[in-house]
Amino acid sequence: MSAVIIDGKQIAAEVKADVAKKVEGLKAKGITPCLAVILVGDNPASVSYVTGKRKALEEAGMADKSVVLPADTSEEDVLKLIDELNKDKSVHGILVQLPLPKHIDEKKVTNAIIPEKDVDGFHPVNVGKLVTGEKGFLPCTPNGITVLLKKMGVETSGKNVVVVGRSNIVGKPMALLMIRKEFNSTVTICHTGTKNLADYTKNADILIVASGHPATVTGDMIKEGACVIDVGVNRIPDSTKKSGFRLVGDVDFEGAKEKASFITPVPGGVGPMTIAMLIYNTLESAENRIIKN
């Protein structure tokens, strides 16, 4: 079997086009959805992610109040900026690009964003709402994965979903989404304490891998016909590339595609969806403001 390659770029373009249409409608009512991305320092991967997010904002016709700060900015100054953006009525979403420099407490900073503008869905109030099923902002990467599954027509109800990774931004929220009635999956979460990872991955109808290491999952660890979602983004040295590196996921793509029914590529799979869901959440925040007023 050779898997259907899930075109995350195309599906993200569809989501973004839909958002852009709705932005036009809001603009006609005098509201321009606006996101502020805060970048501290010049970590190359972070710069590239922020550039992608800002490009998507522009393409969707949204306003951009992003701020780039030097790496030695104090925690106090970052908190002060967040306080100003929290109070700024023209701003609907605030996002702090992680990781932050070591001298800044990431939890303190992300928790300082008011839940109503927390379009990343990282604030404990939004995390709590995810757990209880109340309406809040859903974290972009896991939410984007559910959109991929829906658009590809992958059946989730009654299926075994195995999530490799238990981070707060990917693994845990992914598992919480898939156990919702809407998706109705039976979920197993694996991590570095899991013994014999393959015993679990081989049982997955849908295997979602977010371990942060290339080839954590290889073809022999996958059940024939499974749907494989590779969240990983790893830079590995490649002298044939101008940049000196290439991107690979957390799954050995070549081996996995021979066993899977569906698979996401890296790049071009989950990554574009994360950005699409970010602008979707920003639009939703602007719409929520109208409902409130």
Q: State the catalytic residue, choosing from 16, 97, 172, 250.
A: 97
CB 119 to ligand NAP: min, Å: 14
Secondary structure (3-state) at 96: strand
Secondary structure (3-state) at 88: coil
User: Phi-psi bin for 85: left (phi > 0), alpha (psi -120 to 50), beta?
Assistant: alpha
* CA distances to 35, 87, 286 from 292, in Å: 19, 16, 10
Q: Which residues bind ligand NAP (CB under 6 A)?
A: 141, 164-167, 169-171, 190-194, 197, 210-213, 216, 231-234, 250, 270-271, 274
Q: Are 31 and 289 in contact (CB under 8 A)?
A: yes
Q: Any catalytic annotation for residue 10?
A: no
The smaller minimum CB distance to ligand NAP, of residues 30 and 193, is found at 193
β-sheet bridge partners, residue 235: 247
The smaller minimum CB distance to ligand NAP, of residues 34 and 164, is found at 164
Alpha-carbon torsion (68, 74, 77, 81), positive or negative = positive
CB 6 to ligand NAP: min, Å: 13
CB 123 to ligand NAP: min, Å: 17
CB 211 to ligand NAP: min, Å: 4
Q: State the catalytic residue, choosing from 16, 53, 223, 257.
A: 53
CB 50 to ligand NAP: min, Å: 13
Q: What is the DSSP letter of 268?
A: S
Q: Any catalytic annotation for residue 53?
A: yes
End-to-end CA distance of the chain: 54
Q: Any catalytic annotation for residue 42?
A: no
Cα 164 versus chain centre, distance:
15
Q: Which residue is nearest to ligand NAP (CB)?
A: 167
The smaller minimum CB distance to ligand NAP, of residues 57 and 190, is found at 190
Of the candidates 247, 167, 151, which has an alpha carbon nearest to the alpha carbon of residue 208?
Answer: 167
Q: State the catalytic residue, choosing from 16, 117, 118, 120.
A: 120
Q: How far apart are CA 281 and CA 139, in angstroms?
A: 9
In terms of residues, how long is the chain? Answer: 293
The smaller minimum CB distance to ligand NAP, of residues 10 and 184, is found at 10
CB atoms within 10 A of CB 189: 18
What tokens does 241 get?
């590339």
CB 74 to ligand NAP: min, Å: 25
Residues that are catalytic: 53, 97, 120
